[in-house]
């Protein structure tokens, strides 16, 4: 079918968003057309404002409207512990637990030779510089248990050890609320390896 | 956690879209921030343009940037057959089949006493006027098999019969590719009722 032109264009843009197919894009566009005109304008303004004001923090490379970001400039955060994550969304996931009080370092990617991403392409040298120039006691690697996450973790741990600091990695195992019988083998292997004395 | 302000605002707007929860909204907002600035501006413009230019067709109440809409003003469409749908998205679903060559009437809702929507609130009198003033041979009711869809279909068929035209309703039964054993009872009852001679 032919969408009327301005609608077709809007649907096309919604489809550029992650995991949005043609059906969801159409639903969103039609929903938008039913919103009051003022709301649509504010939504559009919010997009442009966020894009124009949000930059990367010069210390940890978190996305923020200020640099250093809110976390790096907070006096309440423990600057001696750095949690290394791949992306800002991982940082957000950890912040939501309200349990971590250290600072972060966002690598902006993972080493992935298959995609042509080497150690130079991500923020590794900036991390080493931070550890070198500041009084850091522990680096926690919070990278996904994927091939790229494993490789990046191994690589980082080798580079960080010579600094004589504690380098740890988050635990992998059964997610809470899951059933052991449905866990995949790799998760079970990790859960067994990571067993702790009670 | 605290999002940086412009990001919080953007996520809030994405959450207003249908079936978008906090996680999807966050993913969309972060994705948007990684898009080139020019693209974000064009996306925002597309929203405002669509909202400002798309109106309801004065004949069939389809959403379009022109009135009468593309379908009502096409000389290739059969004006003697009107397919009645609840919403523009239903019209779009039928258009995508490329099988229907008549015109439409978008009711902009269904009769739903529970939600306080009576026959006056939707475009029923406009449909009757269309049938009365034009040479219409058939009205196809393409409303969902829900309580509201059933009620609206029954109501419309009673109002339309006196015009001496054909009033039909789309078939309900097993969807193609489905397994009979998994069909729910109501669908099976409808499938049996709607059986046709081979």
Q: Could you tell me the pLDDT band of residue A79, with boundaries at 50, 70 and 90?
A: very high
The CA distance from A113 to A129, in Å, is 24
Helix A124-133 × helix A147-160 angle, to 10°: 30
| Distance of residue B195 Cα from the nearest chain A Cα, in angstroms | 30
Please indicate if any CB of chain A lies within 8 Å of the CB of B37: yes
| Distance of residue A141 Cα from the nearest chain B Cα, in angstroms | 20
Domains of chain A: 5-53 (1.10.8.420), 76-197 (3.40.1360.10)
pLDDT in tens, B167-183: 998 888 888 888 888 88
Best of A2, A4, A24 to mutate (most B CBs within 10 Å, chain B): A4
Say if pTM beats, i.e. exceeds, 0.80.
Answer: no
Taking CB atoms and an 8 Å limit, are A13 and B95 in contact across chains? no
> Minimal CA–CA distance to A108: which of A129, A130, A88, A127?
A88
Q: What is the sign, positive or negative, of the torsion defined by CA atoms of B4, B7, B13, B14?
A: negative
Residue range A116-120: mean pLDDT, rounded:
93
Quote ipTM for the complex.
0.77
| Distance of residue B156 Cα from the nearest chain A Cα, in angstroms | 26
Of A28, A70, A98, the CB nearest to B17: A28
Q: Could you tell me the pLDDT band of residue A190, with boundaries at 50, 70 and 90?
A: confident
Which residues from A are below 8 Å from B46, CB to CB?
Answer: 6, 9-10, 12-13
Please indicate if any CB of chain A lies within 8 Å of the CB of B8: no
**Contact in structure between B121 and B61 (CB atoms under 8 Å):** no
pLDDT in tens, B126-155: 999 999 999 999 999 999 888 999 999 999
């Amino acid at each position: 079918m032919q969408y009327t032109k301005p609608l077709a264009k809007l649907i096309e843009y919604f489809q550029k968003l992650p995991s949005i197919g043609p059906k969801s894009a159409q639903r969103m566009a039609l929903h938008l057309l039913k919103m009051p005109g003022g709301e649509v304008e504010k939504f559009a303004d919010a997009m442009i404002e966020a894009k124009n004001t949000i930059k990367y923090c010069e210390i940890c490379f978190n996305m923020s409207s200020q640099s250093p970001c809110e976390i790096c400039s907070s006096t309440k955060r423990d600057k001696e512990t750095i949690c290394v994550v791949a992306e800002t969304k991982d940082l957000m996931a950890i912040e939501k637990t309200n349990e971590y009080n250290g600072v972060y370092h966002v690598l902006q990617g993972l080493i992935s030779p298959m995609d042509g991403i080497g150690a130079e392409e991500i923020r590794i040298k900036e991390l080493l510089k931070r550890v070198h120039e500041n009084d850091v006691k522990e680096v926690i690697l919070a990278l996904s248990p994927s091939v790229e996450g494993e490789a990046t973790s191994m690589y980082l741990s080798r580079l960080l050890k010579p600094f004589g600091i504690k380098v740890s990695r988050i635990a992998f195992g059964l997610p809470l609320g899951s059933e052991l019988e449905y866990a995949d083998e790799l998760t079970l292997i990790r859960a067994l390896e990571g067993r702790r004395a009670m």
